[in-house]
Structure 1
């Protein structure tokens, strides 16, 4: 499994960046039902936390690679993919609650 460490390490980098981009763009959709002032405050906090999340994922990715720990790299990959899936699921659930899901023409 050690021969795949470089591939997993390199594949995690765009996955982490895609995860951050999804979080940046999906956060306003999750907060669309709140008051304007509260939503702006929470949105700004959420977007500033994305930098910390990306740094943490990248640090863990580098830690797993430079220690030669393939399992650690796979755990980071699983966390990033799980985070992306959870973001997508939350937006879909939020849209379904508001009644503007995929059957209404609004797809995430």
Structure 2
């Protein structure tokens, strides 16, 4: 019984640690970070995402803090109607991930 209790406790602690690593930032916080120069402008970040898929249209964006880094997530649809998820380092504008949404 003690082993099962310890296992359940360890599992729940792991879940809390994983879920605490990514934090969604609201519009006020995002604007504060942009105005302070901590992250790139949203126009530059959107342009970097669209450069990967010319003619695309952005449908949704989100700013998160993950492991102490600001990650800008963009959901877009390219000119052929294919949906893509692009993640950028919001501080540098570097594209971190670019994969087709499944």
Please report the TM-score for the alignment, with normalisation by the length of structure 1.
0.28
Q: Under a length normalisation based on structure 2, what TM-score does the superposition of the two structures give?
A: 0.29
More relative contact order, 1 or 2 (CA 8 Å, 6+ apart): 1
The structure with more strand, counted as a fraction of residues:
2
Pair member with larger Rg: 2
